[in-house]
Amino acid sequence: MAEVVVIGAGVAGIQAALDLADHDVHVHLVEREPTIGGHMAQLDKTFPTNDCSMCILSPKMVEVARHPNITIHTCTEVESVAGEVGHFQVRLKKHPRFIDEEECNGCGDCIQICPVEVYNRFDAGIGVRKAIYKPHPQAIPDIVIKDNEHCIECGLCYDVCGRDAVLREDHEKEIDLSAASIVVATGYRTFDARNKPQLRYLAVPDVITSLEFERMINASGPTGGRIGRLSNGGTPRAIAFVQCVGSRDMSLHRPYCSGVCCMYAMKNAMLVREKYPDTDVIIFYNDIRAYGKGYEEYYERAKGMGIRFIRGLPGEVMEENECLVMVAENTETGEVERHHVDLVVLSVGLEPADGADAIAERLGIPRGENGFYSVDDEKIGPVLTPRPGIYVAGTATAPRDIPDSVAMGEAAAMRAYIDAIRAN
Ligand SMILES: Cc1cc2nc3c(=O)[nH]c(=O)nc-3n(C[C@H](O)[C@H](O)[C@H](O)COP(=O)(O)OP(=O)(O)OC[C@H]3O[C@@H](n4cnc5c(N)ncnc54)[C@H](O)[C@@H]3O)c2cc1C
């Protein structure tokens, strides 16, 4: 059976893997995190329908796990790629999980007993996890990982595991594969808001990022879906969303629009108004970019729900009597406005994933001036890199939403499939 490697198991990579596997191609799905799913697994609802994100993604993740033509390689990265279309030799490096993956049945007894709590990256900074953990309850593969950096070797997890699945020793492994073609879907990371110190992220507890807000409003997130101030736990009476944090900002060398922030801010503002109808919600924006199918109507719906849109970005966030003060010039009225709010949500932009430069080098594919992988022709070859047999999909190429990322995953899968049948 022909083989294809898909790098990155966010929604774009998952879609590519499923399409290929359904066409009798064996897929090696390479993900560096301990679970597949990518950013979509962290989201609460998805615009423009406000469907639950995991309700859409989780069945696809389960399908990947059950598919006989897909091998999932988690905690794994690509070390090197040699050869050419039809005959690539791919070397993977699998990082230690300190768990016997065959034996662990994901029961979670070890998690219950572990006494160590550390910051949970999946909850984007507002939740904790144990030193032995699952990133989230619907993780695939449904097994734990031991974080040896924080493990205190108390021994409780070894004792409680009836299957001897927790390992004291583990080491990196090399895996060699051959593949007819490769799909790169390594996604994005969000802008680090500390690089805009005037917005006081991490200096003031009630300034959070949009991804943290997604976790906070999520019923299975660290607060059980309750929106609270991180300073005193109180329910905010006024919330401000600040757009273009790390996008369209020449001073930060990020001239591009991140494409999804207007829409996700409207989504979260609507969810607040639905849950807490008395909360005053303001969106400070540059321009509203609602370009997709049904998106303009979504914007109209948001306005109809009493969300206040102020065209102007606050220069800084100030503190005053337990409140946060935002001063912005409303560029529609020319007035300088001063607003007191309890919670500020920064709509952080999208940038290439960590390590995108190393992947580009190892695979011999180019990146554009903003660091995303570039293609030969955006119009008629949006997934084609200059290197035959290597295709790109999703936000690894530019900021984009879920429907576009999925469509690119499908397109890249078709291209990779053609190489696979030619090689066979
Ligand atoms: C706050 C926020 C809210 C959003 N809300 C919505 C919404 O409501 N609707 C919508 O349509 N879009 C929304 N988006 C955008 C959405 O998150 C993306 O469109 C989508 O998740 C992109 O999927 P992807 O597969 O391209 O990338 P990702 O989800 O980033 O997946 C990439 C995967 O590749 C892995 N990876 C990276 N590098 C490597 C490597 N070197 N080796 C192996 N694996 C690697 C990563 O760990 C990750 O699992 C939102 C974005 C944000 C920030």
pLDDT, tens only, 24-52:
999 999 999 999 999 999 999 999 999 99
User: Does 185 contact ligand 1 (Cβ within 6 A)?
Assistant: yes
Consecutive H or E run containing 145: strand 145-146
Place of tokens 């492994």: 173
User: Does 397 contact ligand 1 (Cβ within 6 A)?
Assistant: no
**Ranges of each domain in the chain:** 3-95+172-187+353-423, 109-160, 192-349
| CA-to-CA separations, 144 to 102, 147, 221, in angstroms, rounded | 12, 10, 18
For the beta sheet containing 173-179, the strands, ordered from the edge strand earlier in sequence to the opposite edge, are 76-84, 87-94, 173-179
| CA-to-CA separations, 268 to 18, 46, 214, 262, in angstroms, rounded | 30, 9, 8, 10
Q: Tokens representing 339?
A: 């607003």
Domain 3-95+172-187+353-423 matches domain 192-349 at the CATH topology level:
yes
For the residues 375-394, what does the mean pLDDT come to? Answer: 96
Q: Which atom of ligand 1 is nearest to the CA of 14?
A: 25
Q: Is the pLDDT of residue 424 over 90?
A: no
- Give the CA angle between residues 17, 21, 27 to the nearest 5°: 60
* Alpha carbon distance 411, 319 (integer Å): 49
Residue 175 confidence (pLDDT): 98
* pLDDT tens-digit map of 103-153: 999 999 999 999 999 999 899 888 899 999 999 999 999 999 999 999 999
Residue 127 confidence (pLDDT): 86
What rounded mean pLDDT belongs to the chain? Answer: 97
User: Does 38 contact ligand 1 (Cβ within 6 A)?
Assistant: yes
Instruction: Please give the distance, rounded to the nearest whole angstrom, from the Cα atom of residue 333 to the centre of ligand 1.
Output: 37
Instruction: Please give the distance, rounded to the nearest whole angstrom, from the Cα atom of residue 131 to the centre of ligand 1.
Output: 25
Helix runs in 67-206, H state only: 109-113, 156-160
Q: Is the pLDDT of residue 212 over 90?
A: yes
Residue 421 confidence (pLDDT): 95
Residue 126 confidence (pLDDT): 86
DSSP assigned state of 175: E
| CA-to-CA separations, 201 to 183, 249, 308, 317, 337, in angstroms, rounded | 36, 17, 23, 9, 22
Return the best residue to mutate from 27, 74, 260 for the ligand 1 pocket (most ligand atoms within 8 A of CB).
260
Instruction: Please give the distance, rounded to the nearest whole angstrom, from the Cα atom of residue 237 to the centre of ligand 1.
Output: 31
* Alpha carbon distance 103, 179 (integer Å): 29
Q: Is the pLDDT of residue 305 over 90?
A: yes
User: Does 400 contact ligand 1 (Cβ within 6 A)?
Assistant: yes
* Alpha carbon distance 137, 206 (integer Å): 27
User: Does 31 contact ligand 1 (Cβ within 6 A)?
Assistant: yes
For 283, other C-beta atoms within 10 Å of its C-beta total 24
* pLDDT tens-digit map of 65-92: 999 999 999 999 999 999 999 999 999 9
| CA-to-CA separations, 204 to 45, 82, 152, 320, 350, in angstroms, rounded | 27, 49, 31, 12, 23
Place of tokens 């990196």: 172
Q: Tokens representing 154?
A: 């108390």
Q: Contact 185/13 with Cβ under 8 angstroms?
A: yes
Instruction: Please give the distance, rounded to the nearest whole angstrom, from the Cα atom of residue 322 to the centre of ligand 1.
Output: 35
- Specify the CATH number for 192-349; select among 3.30.1490.190, 3.40.50.720, 3.50.50.60, 3.40.50.740: 3.50.50.60
Q: Tokens representing 313?
A: 């970005």
Q: Is the peptide bond before 141 cis (omega within 30 degrees of 0)?
A: yes
Q: Contact 5/184 with Cβ under 8 angstroms?
A: no
* Alpha carbon distance 24, 1 (integer Å): 7
**Is 0.75 surpassed by the pTM of this model?**
yes
User: Does 260 contact ligand 1 (Cβ within 6 A)?
Assistant: yes
For the residues 295-324, what does the mean pLDDT come to? Answer: 96
User: Does 373 contact ligand 1 (Cβ within 6 A)?
Assistant: no
User: Does 395 contact ligand 1 (Cβ within 6 A)?
Assistant: yes
For the residues 211-222, what does the mean pLDDT come to? Answer: 95
User: Does 15 contact ligand 1 (Cβ within 6 A)?
Assistant: no
Return the best residue to mutate from 55, 90, 145, 264 for the ligand 1 pocket (most ligand atoms within 8 A of CB).
264
Q: For the domain 3-95+172-187+353-423, what is the CATH code?
A: 3.50.50.60
